[in-house]
Structure 1
Amino acid sequence: MFFAVQTWVLLILGVGAFGVEVYALVDCLRRRPDAFVAASKRTKQFWSIVLAVAAAVGFVVIFSPLSIFGLLAVVAGAVYLADVRPALDQVTGRRGSIGPYGPW
């Protein structure tokens, strides 16, 4: 019984991690190349390769997301979403979430 629950939890974590990696890759591919340079981040080609490799690794280790490769893949996606994406939004003039008291 415990093994079945543990398997389902790992599968849910793996699918969630894979979703984060694919979302980061798609967001990266939709951005203009000059925005990366203007935001003082690495190039679009660099981030596209890193995130494509992360998504591929995330797909391969979907049943064991807590392996070292699975964790590195999630970290790559998280770094892009937490650091690069907000800088690109600021450079391109996109606004993030706008709450009732303005952007946050």
Structure 2
Amino acid sequence: MLPLATFPNLFPGFAGPFEIIWWVLLGLKLVALLDAAFRPRAVFLAADKLTKPGWVLILVVFSLSQLFQGWLSFFGLIGIAAAGVYLVDARPALRAATGRGRGGWGIRRRRGPRPL
């Protein structure tokens, strides 16, 4: 007889769908934290954003709050918003300030008329 298609059978190692959401949100916060940690301090000033220690402190505190309190706590939800603001607003501005803007993946836009 075939086993039932229950959540633990479909996703072994996870107790339920909320655990997958927990891991995805922690990964999102850690990606934002690592990106902020490895950017040079001068880029934050050039992009006219919050300073590097400010972003790193915010992202560390809220990443740790998810580990100790959970993602549905007050600080966990604020941490999701903080990581989202960093990834959607600050990160593109920092990339543009370093010269790696919207071209992406080494593709440069051609400026001027096309050759014949």
Question: Per the shorter chain, which TM-score range?
Answer: 0.7 to 0.9
Q: Which runs of 5+ in 2 are unaligned?
A: 1-6, 9-14, 110-116
Secondary structure at the aligned position of 2:61 is classed as helix
1:20 maps to 28
Larger Rg: 2
Higher helix share: 1
Segments of 4+ in structure 1 off by > 3 A?
Answer: 95-98
TM-score w.r.t. length of structure 1: 0.79
Separation in 2 of the partners of 1:20 and 1:60?
A: 17
- Alignment: residue pair count: 94
Separation in 1 of the partners of 2:62 and 2:78?
A: 8
1:86 maps to 92
Answer yes or no: is 1:34 the counterpart of 2:42. Answer: yes
Q: Which runs of 5+ in 1 are unaligned?
A: none
Q: CA deviation at 1:10?
A: 1.2
What RMSD over aligned residues (CA atoms) do the two structures have, in Å?
Answer: 2.1
TM-score w.r.t. length of structure 2: 0.72
Separation in 2 of the partners of 1:76 and 1:82?
A: 10
Secondary structure at the aligned position of 2:16 is classed as helix
Q: CA deviation at 1:90?
A: 0.3
